[in-house]
Amino acid sequence: MKHASRFVGLALLYLVLTLAAACDVDAKQVLAGPLEFSFGAPMPGHILVTEGMVYSSQAGFGFEAGTALKSVHGTGTESAQSHAVASDKPFFFSVAVPEGNYKVTVTLGNPLAAAETTVHAELRRLMLQQIHTDAGQFQTRSFIVNVRQAAISTGGRVRLKDREKATEAWNWDDRLTLEFIGVNPSISTLKIEKADVPVVFIMGDSTVCDQPSEPFNSWGQMLPRFFKPDVAIANHAESGESIASSLGAGRFNKIWSQMKKGDYLFVQFGHNDMKSKAANALQSYTDNLAMVVDKAQSLGGIPVICTPVSRRTFGSDGKISNSFDGYPEAVRSVARKKNVPLIDLQPMTAAFYEALGPEAAVQAFANASEHTHHGDYGSYEIAKCVLLGIQQNKLGIASNIVDDFTGFDPSHPDSISSFTLPKSSSRNAQTPLGN
């Protein structure tokens, strides 16, 4: 009876959240406490989730349809170490929550078999990487997930592209979605609670954004894996965007409506900006970048500007050429003039590709024909370039980087042969916008 009433309570909570969203009520007023789920068997104070529970708006939680799951039971009944839900394929679990930042705590493992579980959130944001558990062994880990919607609290909405309403919809919907992948991915318990933490907002283009499908990936969606559960990564970058188009679409307005003192704003544009045929295109880019820096600072934020990541443009000398004309130097000039942190990704990523060499560097990209968009390995290494930049600039969030990041030298990247990361179930050959 306790679990049944808890189930009804969550359904009522979802109804309240839906009504609140319709009435523009602050989310903080309606989500009072944590939500705790137990997978496969009941636990006191937890909402029971069994393998057949498919997400519905009425319940406000459940597995996304399309994957066969199984409940696994050990010898106990009241311990997290006695039960789990598992699958031999990737699976998704969603919970309806208001917009905001959430601390998510998962207990991973399987009472009867070894498991290796990687966790993505929302649109393939890497949260936990290959957590290994032996049979009967469990590990509890926490991370922060940013959930957002298109409505802007100060008025208006972000003007979404059609693809953001379709293949990228999970980045903008009314739920927190987790993907569990790997070898026998297994989950035993889940806790979701509001988190009041510093936010790292990210704005940029297709080399930065949360790419929805394999084989494409970008550094912004790899970054959460490298932070402890006391910082939120809010990646607002989008394929095909320039700084001007992002301003026009309300993407920056969305960030301004949420930014608080001590938050960060990482900005990386250039790939699409340089294609403008306007006579004053470079000056407009520079002016817009300076304006964004000023606005972030006026809100108490800490702007960090980045030169664009290099394209795979090897010359006959085996070196990467600058394909961005004066745009990287414009970023550097704004950093000098405004005295703000600069992460110079263009030479860092050039050094990364050159260390691999013209032939092997292809493996950092989504496919052999790509010169712009990366795969898992490339985006993972570029995320490490960003972390290196954070440390070099002595930013406060450097203390929030996970302990297993021990530094990085782009001229000596991790070997391709040693890199492993399980593939998401989402696959689509559609090339990201921009090049």
pTM of the model as a whole? 0.91
Indicate the helix (H) or strand (E) that contains 117.
Answer: strand 115-121
| Long-range residue pairs from 412-420, CB within 8 A, at least 24 positions apart, any chain | 412/355, 413/352, 413/355, 413/356, 413/381, 413/384, 414/380, 414/381, 414/384, 416/356, 416/360, 416/363, 416/364, 416/377, 419/376, 419/377, 419/380, 420/130
Nearest-angstrom CA–CA distance, 239 and 435 = 9
Nearest-angstrom CA–CA distance, 200 and 141 = 21
Tokens 């998962």 found at: 106
Q: Give the domains, in start order, of the chain with CATH numbers.
A: 1-196 (2.60.120.430), 198-435 (3.40.50.1110)
SS3 content of the chain, % helix, strand, coil (to 5): 30, 25, 45
- Sequence-distant (≥ 6) Cβ neighbours of residue 242 within 8 angstroms: 205, 269, 272, 273, 276, 285
Instruction: Decide: 426 and 213 in contact? Cβ < 8 Å.
Output: yes
Structure tokens belonging to residue 158: 């972000």
Q: How much is the CA Rg of the chain, to the nearest whole Å?
A: 22
- pLDDT per residue, tens digit, the chain (435 aa), is 333 333 344 444 444 443 333 333 333 334 567 999 999 999 999 999 999 999 999 999 999 998 889 999 987 554 556 899 999 999 999 999 999 999 999 999 999 999 999 999 999 999 999 999 999 999 999 999 999 999 999 999 999 999 999 999 999 999 999 999 999 999 999 999 999 999 999 999 999 999 999 999 999 999 999 999 999 999 999 999 999 999 999 999 999 999 999 999 999 999 998 999 999 999 999 999 999 999 999 999 999 999 999 999 999 999 999 999 999 999 999 999 999 999 999 999 999 999 999 999 999 999 999 999 999 999 999 999 999 999 999 999 999 999 999 999 999 999 999 999 998 877 776 787 776
Nearest-angstrom CA–CA distance, 128 and 201 = 20
DSSP state of 314: B
Task: Give me the amino acid identity at 110.
Answer: N
